[in-house]
Every structure is written in C-alpha cells, then in structure tokens.
Structure 1
Amino acid sequence: MTVFLIIIVIALLGITLWQMSKILNLSKSHSSEDPSIATDKDNKNQGYLMLGFLIVFNIFMFYNFWEYSRFYLPEAASAHGVQFDNLMFLSLAIIMFVQVITQFLLHYFSFIYRGEKGKRAYFYADNDKLEFIWTIIPVIVLAGLIIYGLFTWSDIMNVEEDEDTIVIELYAYQFGWKARYAGEDNTLGKANVRFIEGINTVGVDESDSYAKDDKIVSELHLPVDKKVLFKMRSQDVLHSAYFPFFRAQMNVVPGMITQFGFTPTITSEEMRQTDYMVDKVKTINQIRKENSKELVANGDMALDPYEFEYYLLCNKICGISHYNMQMKIVVENEEDYKEWIAEQESFGETLAKQEEQ
C-alpha cells in the first residue's frame, strides 16, 4: 500500500511540474518571431542536409553493389536459368533507374524549393496528362516483365513427356531425399505411402509392371543437355525441392504430385573450373585450414578440403533436422550417365534378392 501511495505522489508531482512549466511559458513575453515556425536559416540547413543525404545514400548503395557482388550465384546451369537471370537483372535495372531518378528529384526539389520568407507554395490541383503518363508507363513495363516471365514459367512447368525426356521422381521425407528413375519403359510405376514396408522405402506398388525396372537411388545423376522431368512426392510434411544453380524450386506436397523440368547445360566438372567457383573453393579452403588449426590443437580431426558439388536442398523449414535434407547432384556427359544408370539395381532385382533371402 505504501508503494502505491508513493507512486501516486510522484505522478501528481510530475503533473504539477508540467502544469507550472506551461504557466511559465504563458507568462513570458513573446518575441516577434514564433520559435515553432522554421526560419530561412532552418530551411536552408534542412535543404543542404537533404542534398547531403542523397549523396551519402547513393555512395553507400553503389558501394554495396560493388563490394557484395561476389555473393551472386554463378551463371545458371540450366537452359531456362539464363532467361531467369536476365529477367532478374532486367527488373533490378529498371528498379534502380526509377529509384535513382525519383530519389534525386525528391531530394533536389526539397533543396531548390525550400521555404523562404515571403515565398508561397504553388497550388497545383491536377493534370490529367501527367497522371496518364505515370500510370500507363508502369502498366506497360510491368506487363512486359510479366509476359516475359510467363514464357520462362511455361518452359519449366509444361514439359512434354516424349521419348527423349528423362522422367525422375523426387521423394522427400524427414529428413532426406530419394530419387526414382523410370527404367527402359521410361514410365514410373505407381507409388503410394501406404505401400511403404521394409525395403520398399518410397512406397512403390509392387503389383505394377511399370515399377519393376524403376531404379531408386540416393544420389541424383543428370546427363548434360538432356531434358529432365521431375515428379515430386512427400511422405510426411511440406518440403520444397530447391535447385539453386539450376534456378528451379517447387513445393513437395503430401498427398499430391507436383512437377517441373529443366535441361542441365553445365556439367559438375565444368562448373568447378569456372573462375567464380575456383575463387570460392579457394576462399572456403583457406577458412577451413585456419579453423582446422584450432581443432587439431584440441585433439580433433582437421576439416576435409571443400570441393564443389551441385546439391538438391529443402527450402522449407520441415523439422529439427531440416538442414540434413541435401542430395548430391552429378551433371555429366551422356556416356557417363548411361554407364552409371546401368550399374544401379532395379526395384524388381531388389525384390528378387529379398525373396532369395
């Protein structure tokens, strides 16, 4: 109770002091100039501050573009990725052009048309011509960007399943990936999570004849310059198949099949030899070498040298071990791909081995 009374007394004392300060202000004789109204000197200072801010802002902006450009992804490793990157940089160029012009006008006009004693602001009600111009230009630009993007979207989503198309199922689960290749029939067998049992880890329908030659692997191999169609399933929660170097991503939704496709254009070995990747690997290995010194001093193993590989990632936070959802991708020439796929065991062969046991 005492504390409560002390709080009330302090609050009343504060209110009293506030009211007394108002009375003192009213009792003072007023000068000819109201201190609440900006003077010419104030307006001039604010105008120069606006120009200073404009200069500092642009220097900082262009410095960041220059300094952090090394964090851009390297060139796209898929056919549609080139269009994707072109659209991104075109959008960025348009945004930067508009931003530089509008910010310059905003700050420059704030300086040149700053308030001065005796100067009255010009009242400009409306101008139909100007409003038409600044409305129709964004409409045309945005329509062009959207239409351009739709063509790229169509290339990814509308993949024709012809005899040259490689059909691969991506199966997501907490917390990993499996890939299922269609066999010689180029047709994936039916599958459902209800069929998951024992060695049948992705729920393939054993009674479906198309499933016998399917091949289930934990490492994804793709032939360069060959069209690939991915069909995706999830065993449990919402995942997201993310191919950063191929500029592709698609949600993997429980209970349904989602799909997209692309054509790889740069092999894993070719990407390793690019200047961008050589510099990146060198930088990472220098960091690992420095960190290994402390590990070795503490009796731990040194870090292994880093070597670039493509990876399929999950881009949804799907659980506590979400970071583990990575699958290595090897893009290689067609001969190496055919040799690798021929070495993989088919689903029918796996079942036959189980029956023999």
Structure 2
Amino acid sequence: MTVLLIIAIVALFGITLWQLSKIFKMSQTSASGSDNQVANDKDNKYNGYLMLAFVIFIYAITIYCFIAYRDFYLPEAASEHGSEYDSLFFITLVVIMITQIITQFLVHYFAYKYKGKEGNRALFLADNDKLEFIWTITPVIVLSGLIFYGLYTWSDIMNINDDDDPLVVEVYAYQFGWIVRYSGEDNTLGKANVRFIEGINTVGIDETDTYAMDDVVARELHLPVDRPVLFKFRSQDVLHSAYMPFFRAQMNVVPGMITQFKFTPTITSEEMRNSEFMVDKVRKLNKIRRERSKELIADGQEGLDTYEFEYYLLCNKICGISHYNMQIKIVVEPQEEFDAWMAKQTEFGKEIASK
C-alpha cells in the first residue's frame, strides 16, 4: 500500500510540473504576440499521415496476434454442446471484427481526407433522416440476431432433460480444492450441509438420509464418455467458479445454494491426448520446460517434470492466495472403465460404518 501511495504522489507531482510548463509556455507566447498553438497546413498534413499509419498499425498488430498466439487456441470441443458454443463465439467474433475493420478504417481515413486546410470551411449538415435510419437500424438488426441466437444456444445448453438419464455428480468447492461426490446406484444424491462436516465426512453428507448411503466421495473426477452428466455445485466458503475449458463449461459455485450444469463428454482423455493438435502442443510445451529445467539445474534447483496432457477442472474466480492451484483432474473414459473404477470406490455408508 505504501508503494502505491508513493507511486501516486510521484505521478501527481509529474503532472503538476507538466501543467506548470504549459502555463509558462503560454505566458511566453502571449508576451511575444505569436500563437503557435494553432495548427497550420503542415501540421494537419503530418497528423493526417499519422492517422493512416496508426490504422495500418492496428490491422498489422491484429493479424500478428492471430498468427503468433494460435498455440493458445483450444482444440475442438470435447462435449456435445461445445460445437454450438464455438459457433456462437465465432459468429460473434466475425461480426465484431468486420465492424471494427470498417469503422476504424473510415475514422482514420476521414481524418486524413478531410484534414484542415487554410481557406477551407467545413460543410454543416443539419440532419439526414435516411443516414440516421441506416446507422440506427443496422446495429439493432445485427445485435438482435446475435442476442436471439445466443438465447437459443443458452437455452439449448442449459435445458436439463431427465429422460436422458444423466449421471448425477456433485462438485464440492473449498479453499483451495475440489471434492467429487457420485450419486451411487440410485443416481440420487443424499442431503448435505456444511454443518455436518466432521472427520471423514468432508462434504457434510447427512448421515440420516438413506439416499446418501450409496454416495461415493472421490478426489478425482471420472466421467463416462457419451453419457450426459448433471453437475451440482456447492461451495463451503467463498465464491468459486468451476471452469472446464475443453468442455466449454463454466458455472459459478455459490455459498449457500446449489448451481448446476449438464453436458455430455464426447472425447476421452486418451483420444484427446493422442490427437494431432495435442501431440504438437505437448511437444512445444516440453521443449520450453526442458530449456527452463536447464536454467533451474544450473542454479542448483530441481528441474521440471515432463508435461503430460490431462483434462482439469479449474477455479475461474480469484478466491484466495492459492486460487492459481485449485484444480482437480478429469478422466473421461469408456463406460466399462468408468464402471471398473467405480467398483473400487467405497460407498459413504460403508465408510461411516467402519469408523
């Protein structure tokens, strides 16, 4: 806080000196009788060219960023609704980019074309109903189309159909980690409350609820591929956000209430790991890690491990000091492998019976 205060004082002092220098310069101008504050034809021409140069710079840096940072793009969505999400995002991006390119070009080109020139006077146009109608109705139509398309996509994604027989999974957030609770054979989660948290009961399951006895608590999130999954989110302490970028899924996790989100995973962890996109990305990442490891080892520190791809559920809210490392691995696998993994887990009823 002290450092910020010092920086603010220094900045204000610099602004004060700058303003004083302008006042001093204006006083000298008034004494000499000249007014060099008024732009002449040379100044206007120079600034007109600068405006053209700037719009070219904007386009160049935009193209560069799209090319240079393409490694940061996500691969194809690993969920059923992901393609709809990506289509909406792409269409919105295209509309914004076309609008930006046209408007920025016109603004900078007109600044050059209609630059000030001695003897020229600007044409005053009181109004033009036709032009005003065009530039008013066009954004209305475009934005309305995007909004209705977005609402349709959102409703389609968020609509939960019980006829799909989704696997019900609770994701429990706390500072700074995640705990998963499966609904067991009855596919119904037992009641839970943070007041019941004690000992092995890490998510506050109600021990008197018969539906809770077959619930399974785990520290790893396993999902069967091509089966709908209904996530129910709870928070123990502060606001978190469950973020699964490869599945194009995110939902706020709010203390005192249950939020939910449903999607169907379509690409297993193994399939994504062996995809051309991910193989190339992992190769580039490990190259960077090897170079960094050499620097660390030279400084007497431990080198970095080789990176291997996994799906992860992350927290997308700044929830505290260890927010950056709040994550849990997601394993998407065939139904047979998921059933085999579930068979190795211990039901909640058996856990409390053996304590």
Aligned-pair identity in percent equals 65
Partner of 1:50: 51
Q: CA deviation at 1:201?
A: 0.9
CA shift at 1:253, angstroms? 1.0
- Matches of 1:41 and 1:301, distance apart in 2: 62
What are the equivalent positions in structure 2 for 1:103-122 lying under 5 Å apart?
A: 103-122=104-123
SS class of match (1:311)? strand
After TM superposition, give the deviation of residue 262 of structure 1 in Å: 0.8
1:216-246 CA distances to partner (integer Å, 9 max, x unpaired)? 1110011111111100111111111111111
Segment of structure 1 superposing worse, 325-334 or 106-115: 106-115
Alpha carbons of 1:258 and 1:277: their partners in 2 closer, same or farther (altered >3 Å)? same
Distance 1:20 1:38 in 2: 19
Number of equivalences? 334
Residue 305 of structure 1 corresponds to 306
Structure 1 letter corresponding to 2:335: E
1:24 maps to what in 2? 31
Q: Distance in 1 between matches of 2:125 and 2:335?
A: 68
Per-residue CA distance 1:115-149 (angstroms, 9 max, x = gap):
22332211111112211111111111111111222
Cα distance, 1:299 vs structure 2: 5.2
Cα distance in 2 for partners of 1:194, 1:19 equals 71
Q: How does 1:135-146 map to 2 (within 5 A)?
A: 135-146=136-147
How far residue 36 of structure 1 moved from its aligned partner, in angstroms, is 4.1
In 2, Cα distance between equivalents of 1:72 and 1:217: 31
CA contact (8 A) 2:164 2:228 kept: no
SS of aligned partner of 1:179:
strand
What is residue 215 of structure 2 aligned with on the other side?
Answer: 214
Matched, 1:79 2:80: yes
Return the offset for 1:76: 1.3
SS of the aligned residue for 1:241 comes to: strand
- For residue 79 of structure 1, give the secondary structure of its aligned residue in structure 2: coil
How is 1:250-261 mapped onto 2 (pairs within 5 angstroms)? 250-261=251-262
Query: Are the aligned partners of 1:91 and 1:145 in contact in 2 as well (CA < 8 Å)?
Result: yes
Which amino acid counterpart does residue 164 of structure 1 have in structure 2?
Answer: D
Distance (whole Å) between structure 1 residues aligned to residue 99 and residue 321 of structure 2? 43
Which protein is bigger by CA-based radius of gyration? 1
Deviation at 1:65, TM superposition (A): 1.5
Go from structure 1 to structure 2 and tell me whether the alpha carbon gap of 1:18 and 1:67 turns closer, same or farther (over 3 Å shift): closer
1:158/1:260 contact within 8 Å kept? no
| Structure 1: tracts of 5 or more residues without a match | 1-13
Which position in structure 2 is the counterpart of 1:239? 240
Structure 1's 119 and 291: CA in aligned 2 closer, same or farther, altered over 3 A? Answer: closer
Q: Paired residue for 2:13? A: none
**C-alpha distance in 2, partners of 1:42/1:23?**
21
Q: Against the structure 1 CA distance between its residues 22 and 109, is the aligned structure 2 distance closer, same or farther, given a 3 Å change threshold?
A: closer
Aligned to 1:3: none
Note the 1:254-293 alignment, pairs <5 A: 254-293=255-294
Match of 1:186 in 2: 187
1:30-78 residue CA offsets vs partner (Å, 9 max, x unmatched): 7xxx644433333222222222222222122212222112211222111
Query: In structure 2, how many angstroms separate the alpha carbons of the residues matched to 1:79 and 1:46?
Result: 52
Does the CA contact (< 8 Å) of 2:171 and 2:234 recur in 1? yes
Deviation at 1:315, TM superposition (A): 1.2
What secondary structure does 1:73 align onto?
coil
| 1:169 alignment partner in structure 2 | 170
Instruction: Give RMSD over aligned pairs.
Output: 2.2
What SS does the aligned partner of 1:178 have?
A: strand
Cα pair 1:212 1:348 within 8 Å, conserved: yes
Contact 1:310 1:330 in 2 (8 A): yes
Amino acid corresponding to residue 253 of structure 1 in structure 2:
V
Deviations 1:193-226 (A, max 9, x none): 1111111111111111111111111100111111
State the SS of the aligned residue for 1:316: coil
Give the Cα–Cα distance (whole angstroms) in 2 for the partners of residues 135 and 37 of structure 1.
36
The answer on 1:125 being equivalent to 2:126 is: yes
Judged with a 3 Å threshold, the aligned counterparts in structure 2 of structure 1 residues 56 and 335 are, in CA distance, closer, same or farther, namely same
Aligned partners of 1:229, 1:195: CA distance in 2, in Å?
24
Give, in whole Å, the separation in 1 of the partners of 2:235 and 2:42: 67
Q: Provide the rounded CA distance (Å) in 2 between the counterparts of 1:127 and 1:278.
A: 58
Runs (5+) with no aligned partner, structure 2? 1-20
Return the alpha-carbon distance in structure 2 between the equivalents of residues 193 and 36 of structure 1: 69
TM-score, length-scaled by structure 2? 0.88
Distance 1:255 1:297, change over 3 A: same
- Give the corresponding residue for 2:17: none
AA in 2 matched with 1:181: Y
Measure the CA separation in 2 of the matches of 1:97 and 1:293: 45
Q: What is the distance in 1 between the residues matched to 2:38 and 2:298?
A: 68
CA contact (8 A) 1:163 1:186 kept: no
Give TM-score, length-normalised by structure 1. Answer: 0.87
Structure 2 letter corresponding to 1:72? Y
SS of residue paired to 2:162: coil
User: What one-letter code is carried by the residue in structure 2 that aligns with 1:283?
Assistant: K
Whether the 8 Å contact between 1:312 and 1:328 is mirrored in structure 2 is yes
